[in-house]
Amino acid sequence: MALNYYFGIIFIVIGAAFDVFGCLGLLRFPDVYNRLQAGTKCVTFGTCGILFGIFLLNGFSGLGVKALIGIPFVLLTSPVGAHALARGAHIFGVPLWKKSVVDQYKEDRGDKPRL
Amino acid sequence: MESLAGILNFCFYSLIACCFACMIRAFRGKSIADRMVAIDIMGTLAVGITALLAVIYKRSFLIDVALAWIFLSFIGTLALAKYLAHKTLDE
């Protein structure tokens, strides 16, 4: 068995572990914004790790190259969606956690009407 | 090759468990934004699950499903966020 199999398995296991910890944070964190931060970053990196491991397992075949193409798509779309969700939740008026210390987006927006 | 299939199956079932965790959050979430976050993350998890299925069952078309799922999840998340911010879907 060649070396790329071992590295592919290692990348896939690391990606699955990141997904598990991201979903654990999604369950355990106290706030919408904390959950968004935990879930989105961990799950994005975990999915990229799984796709890169699949590329290492299959090499430059059809499946491997498509998995490699999927990595920048995930990296581009998932943070943009998370940012839009955070902004929408803040404008909607979802309260922060009671132990949060700073809310700079609210200070920036001030008393301006809703966009 | 046997241990390889076992490890891939273990990763697959752990991702299924992650999807159940997201569904728990989607049912229990206090605000509407919690449910949207859970659905968004479940969309990203489904990409990994579909890609793993393509390797486990050696079906090459499943990776195409994963590539399409990325964009569908992205557009769905943007529509939900725009609804959350503006409460209309007009613009």
- Each domain of chain B, given as residue ranges in start order, spans 2-86
The verdict on a CB contact (< 8 Å) between B21 and A73 is no
Q: Nearest Cα to B14, choosing from A12, A37, A11?
A: A12
pLDDT in tens, A17-49: 999 999 999 998 888 888 898 888 999 999 999
**Alpha-carbon distances of B91 from A53, B4, B15, B80, B88, rounded to whole Å:** 40, 50, 36, 13, 8
Counting as low any pLDDT under 50, the low residues of chain A are: 115
Tokens of B64: 């195409």
Tokens of A68: 């490699």
The verdict on a CB contact (< 8 Å) between B21 and A58 is no
pLDDT in tens, B47-56: 999 999 999 9
pLDDT in tens, B2-23: 677 889 999 999 999 999 999 9
**What is the pTM assigned to this prediction?**
0.88
> What's the rounded Cα separation, in Å, for the pair A94 and A31?
9
The verdict on a CB contact (< 8 Å) between A12 and B7 is yes
Long-range contacts of B53-59 (CB under 8 A, 24+ apart): B53/B12, B54/A54, B54/A63, B55/A54, B55/A57, B55/A58, B55/A63, B55/B8, B56/B5, B56/B8, B56/B9, B56/B12
Tokens of A41: 């970053």
Of B41, B55, B81, the CB nearest to A43: B41
Q: Which residues of B touch A51 (CB under 8 A)?
A: 47-48, 51
- Each domain of chain A, given as residue ranges in start order, spans 3-96
- Answer yes or no: are the C-beta atoms of A47 and A19 closer than 8 Å: yes
Q: Which residues of A touch B81 (CB under 8 A)?
A: 81, 84-85, 87-88
Residue A39 buriedness (CB in 10 A; 0-12 / 13-18 / 19+): buried
> What's the rounded Cα separation, in Å, for the pair A8 and B16?
20
As a whole number, the mean pLDDT across chain B is 87
Q: Which residues of B touch A20 (CB under 8 A)?
A: 14, 17-18
For position B4, what pLDDT does the model report?
77
How far, rounded to the nearest angstrom, does the alpha carbon of residue B70 sit from its chain's CA centroid? 9
As a whole number, the mean pLDDT across chain A is 87
